[in-house]
Amino acid sequence: MKPLALPALDEPLAQFRSAFDAGGLAGALHFLNARTSYRYTAIYRLEGQMMRNIELYDRLGEQSAALSEVPLGDSFCQFVMNQNGFATPNSADDRRLDGHPYQGVLNAYFGLPLSRGPGTIYGTFCHFDFEPRNLEDSEICLLEAVAPVLMDRLP
């Protein structure tokens, strides 16, 4: 991944902050989702051994109880936390996920950990989709810059 020059992040970061100020967490996730082809953008909080959804943006506007919580061991979030980030453009073809219950079901995933300091995991921030998807390097850089801003505004 080629690093994005920091001044190139100034405008999208300002737009993200404006979206957050105008629409709260839902507005912020909508803004980030609109920059991609992914169906979902979400924040999950680690509570014991469960990942509980704090906010979910679905580009199709549907609500799914199945996405409200998932056991950590069944989630892709476990890889985010263990590897300080995780991405797969097509889980069906990703040998790292062989045997995982959502391999080939949740096909595209990009996630970053959220924490308030070393060793204190809050949860994850992710884009995901049932269809294979790629994420541009420039978006990855923006998401990495946005993660600490999100943590400043989460309960």
pLDDT tens digits, residue range 74-117?
999 999 999 999 999 999 999 999 999 999 999 999 999 999 87
Residue 7 lies in a domain: no
C-alpha span between 144 and 8 (Å, rounded): 14
Residue 6's pLDDT is 57
- Any idea which residue has 């507005």 for tokens? 27
Looking at the DSSP bridge assignments, the partners of residue 42 are 56, 126
In a domain, 49, yes or no: yes
In a domain, 26, yes or no: yes
The mean pLDDT value of the chain amounts to 93
Residue 105 lies in a domain: yes
Amino acid at 116: R
Q: How far apart are CA 47 and CA 69, in angstroms?
A: 10
> Does the residue 9 lie in any domain?
no
- For residue 22 the two structure tokens come to 């105008």
- At 135, which CATH number? 3.30.450.40
The reply to whether 23 falls in a domain is yes
Range of the domain at 113: 17-153
Q: 58-69: per-residue pLDDT in tens?
A: 999 998 888 999
Domains contained in the chain, number: 1
Which pairing describes strands 120-129 and 69-71: parallel, antiparallel, or unpaired?
A: unpaired
- Let me know if residue 10 belongs to a domain: no
Do the domain assignments include residue 71? Answer: yes
* pTM exceeding 0.85: yes
Residues 110, 141 contacting (CB under 8 angstroms): no
